[in-house]
Amino acid sequence: MEALIIHAPGDLRVETYETPPVGPGQLQVKVSAGGICGSDLHYFHHGGFGTVRIQEPMVLGHEVAGTITVVGEGASGFKAGDRIAISPSRPCGQCRYCQEGLQNHCLDMRYYGSAMRNPHVQGAFRQELVIEAWQAHKLADHVSDEEGAMVEPLSVALHAVRRAGALMGKRVLVTGCGPIGALAVVAARRAGAREIVATDMGDFALRKALQVGADQVINVAEDPQALQAYSADKGHFDVLFECSGNEKALRGALDALRPRGIIVQVGLGGEMTLPINAIAAKELELRGTFRFHEEFAIGVDLLNKGLVDLKPLISASLPYRDATRAFKLASDRSQAMKVLLNFN
């Protein structure tokens, strides 16, 4: 079979890769769709992010769906032909954090397509994959493989939303409407938000945010002071999902947050200089969020039941052999939200 392997910045190759045997409790899967994530783009453009760098060739990808081809011994509940979304998260189950139910902080995590440990954990952009049965989640007939591949970023957004606590009746601001920001709009709306305002620097992203449920959008490149309208009486929003990773976005939102407002920091953005006095005096809460755990199964359920609609966020699906073109398209925020690879 073939896989998409990153060798160095800009050097992404389609190469032959071996399919491992199917062990007990495992499934062999024919991968059909794979979504390109921001971290894939970072590996592609820069060879990594922060202190993480590729040290050896690595199969990219962790947002995938496919069809089961072989069912290993004891992998009950599945049969060949089942269409599934595949969770890329493989915590150890034994460490102190796994035993506390914090699997996303596992001390021995093996997450597809990540150079955070050495040797790297090989990714899922390949034609065939052998997985543990507990990574597989069946898709309903009306859900496409492309939507199935969207479950992973949806899970990230669902986890972020759960980090904010109950949203029923809350006023929500989302800064940064890339795929994760747009999915935060979807998830916050599903969780009962009373009002959702979304900001971005680009109109394409904002149109998508409106399509998936935002009440109002603001282009902060065109109108940098627009959020000031929300600062009367110490602020308006109960919750901010900061999805841009941009210091200016976070700073610019502080006055619009009411006392005790919650900031869920979703975007990764290196160092930020923040007015700590303002955070202290308004008793704001800045909460990190990282990946997900049980939200993957939740995301599949919501999708299968038609309780979320991710189709507006799928911009294009290209053959995996056109990966370089696909990665370039995915990097263009003026015309692409989520770009998928087709492995059929």
Catalog residues that contact a copy of itself under the rule CB under 8 A. 50, 93-105, 107, 158, 161-163, 165-169, 187, 189-192, 194-195, 215, 233-234, 245, 259-260, 265-277, 279-290, 294-295, 298, 301-302, 305, 307
Nearer to a copy of itself, 113 or 267 (CB): 267
Are the C-beta atoms of residues 153 and 180 closer than 8 Å to each other?
yes
Q: How far apart are CA 169 and CA 193, in angstroms?
A: 5
Are the C-beta atoms of residues 65 and 149 closer than 8 Å to each other?
yes
In angstroms, what is the minimal distance from the CB of 19 to a copy of itself?
Answer: 29
Nearer to a copy of itself, 92 or 329 (CB): 92
Nearer to a copy of itself, 66 or 267 (CB): 267
In angstroms, what is the minimal distance from the CB of 288 to a copy of itself?
Answer: 4
In angstroms, what is the minimal distance from the CB of 187 to a copy of itself?
Answer: 7
Is there a cis peptide before residue 119, judged by omega within 30 degrees of 0? yes
Q: How far apart are CA 86 and CA 306, in angstroms?
A: 19
Nearer to a copy of itself, 24 or 168 (CB): 168
Nearer to a copy of itself, 14 or 272 (CB): 272
Instruction: Identify which of 247, 206, 246, 252 has the alpha carbon closest to the alpha carbon of residue 226.
Output: 252
In angstroms, what is the minimal distance from the CB of 98 to a copy of itself?
Answer: 7
Quote the tokens at residue 290. 């990282």
Q: How far apart are CA 111 and CA 109, in angstroms?
A: 6
The alpha carbon dihedral of 143, 90, 338, 226 has a sign of positive
Are the C-beta atoms of residues 311 and 289 closer than 8 Å to each other?
no
Region of residue 132 (phi > 0: left; psi between -120 and 50: alpha; otherwise: beta): beta
Nearer to a copy of itself, 126 or 189 (CB): 189
In angstroms, what is the minimal distance from the CB of 177 to a copy of itself?
Answer: 18
Region of residue 96 (phi > 0: left; psi between -120 and 50: alpha; otherwise: beta): alpha
Quote the tokens at residue 111. 């997450």
In angstroms, what is the minimal distance from the CB of 330 to a copy of itself?
Answer: 22
How wide is the angle at C-alpha 246 spanned by C-alphas 245 and 250, nearest 5°? Answer: 100
Nearer to a copy of itself, 106 or 318 (CB): 106
Written as one letter, the residue type at 36 is I
Quote the tokens at residue 107. 């001390």
Q: How far apart are CA 201 and CA 258, in angstroms?
A: 24
Bridge-based pairing of strands 195-200 and 216-219 is: parallel
Nearer to a copy of itself, 189 or 208 (CB): 189
Nearer to a copy of itself, 34 or 178 (CB): 178
In angstroms, what is the minimal distance from the CB of 153 to a copy of itself?
Answer: 16
Q: How far apart are CA 250 and CA 245, in angstroms?
A: 8
